[in-house]
């Protein structure tokens, strides 16, 4: 599908592309009426799926704690669930919220204002896990890498990081399963 030539009218937008329509069918925004709740009801939370949804077997899935630590170890789902858990409210907003108003509009989920929601997340605090591993004082970031979840994904792993310098955030950061 090709975009129509703009006329110069700032209120005129190019038509939605086939690719954006496919993304809109897979993802959905929160109805703004959901803002009346302190915790967004599960069925109303915005949904954005960048990659395939992995089929994780809770009996075999594990996470390795390694890197700049004295005692590397592996945690299973059962191990994580046996640790003390905390529940904290977390507000998430997609970094692309409002991108439908950009000109030119990037090929992505065409959000207006609906990519926001607050969930009650439950998990075990990350701080005690890093303490048990003996995190090196020279460590500056917590890195998490995941392998591809299907044949349709790039063979490269996905990696994200969190700076360790803010101890108050490390105390509140949780690992949820």
Contact 119, 173 (CB under 8 A): no
What's the whole-number average pLDDT of the chain? 79
- What CA–CA distance (Å, rounded) separates 177 from 174? 10
CA distances to 18, 29, 66, 67, 118 from 90, rounded to whole Å, are 33, 17, 27, 28, 5
pLDDT tens per residue, range 147-166: 655 555 555 555 666 676 65
Question: pTM of the predicted model, to two decimals?
Answer: 0.67
3-state SS, the chain, equals CCCCCCCCCCCCCCCCCHHHHHHHHHCECCCHHHHHCCCCCHHHCCECCCCCCCCCCCCCCEEEECCCECCCEEEEHHHHHHCCCEEEEEEEECCCCCHHHCCCCCCCCCCCCCCEEEEEEEEEEHHHHHHHHCECCCCCEEEEEECCCCCCCCCCCEEEEEECCCHHHHHHCEECC
Res. 173 pLDDT band, cuts 50 70 90: low
Widest pairwise Cα distance in the chain: 64
Is it the case that residue 109 has pLDDT exceeding 50? yes
Say which range, 6-10, 73-77, 123-127, has the weakest mean pLDDT. Answer: 6-10
Report the pLDDT value the prediction gives residue 19, as an integer from 0 to 100.
79
Can you list the domains of the chain with their CATH numbers? 18-175 (3.90.420.10)
Is it the case that residue 72 has pLDDT exceeding 90? yes
Say which range, 17-21, 85-89, 123-127, 159-163, has the weakest mean pLDDT. Answer: 159-163
Is it the case that residue 36 has pLDDT exceeding 70? yes
Res. 73 pLDDT band, cuts 50 70 90: very high
pLDDT tens per residue, range 42-70: 889 988 887 777 777 889 988 888 888 99
- What CA–CA distance (Å, rounded) separates 42 from 141? 31
Contact 49, 39 (CB under 8 A): no
């Amino acid at each position: 599908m090709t975009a129509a030539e703009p006329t110069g009218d700032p209120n005129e937008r190019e038509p939605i592309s086939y690719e954006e329509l496919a993304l809109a069918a897979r993802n959905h925004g929160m109805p703004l009426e959901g803002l009346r709740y302190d915790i967004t009801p599960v069925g109303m939370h915005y949904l954005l799926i960048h990659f395939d949804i992995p089929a994780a077997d809770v009996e075999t899935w594990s996470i390795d704690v390694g890197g700049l630590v004295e005692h590397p170890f592996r945690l299973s789902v059962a191990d994580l669930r046996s640790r003390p858990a905390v529940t904290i409210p977390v507000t998430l907003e997609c970094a692309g919220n409002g991108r439908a108003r950009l000109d030119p509009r990037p090929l992505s989920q065409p959000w207006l204002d609906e990519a926001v929601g607050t969930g009650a997340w439950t998990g075990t605090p990350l701080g005690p896990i890093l303490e048990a591993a003996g995190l090196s004082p020279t460590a500056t970031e917590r890195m998490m890498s995941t392998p591809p979840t299907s044949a349709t994904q790039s063979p490269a792993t996905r990696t994200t990081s969190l700076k360790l310098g803010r101890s108050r955030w490390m105390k509140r950061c949780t690992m949820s399963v």
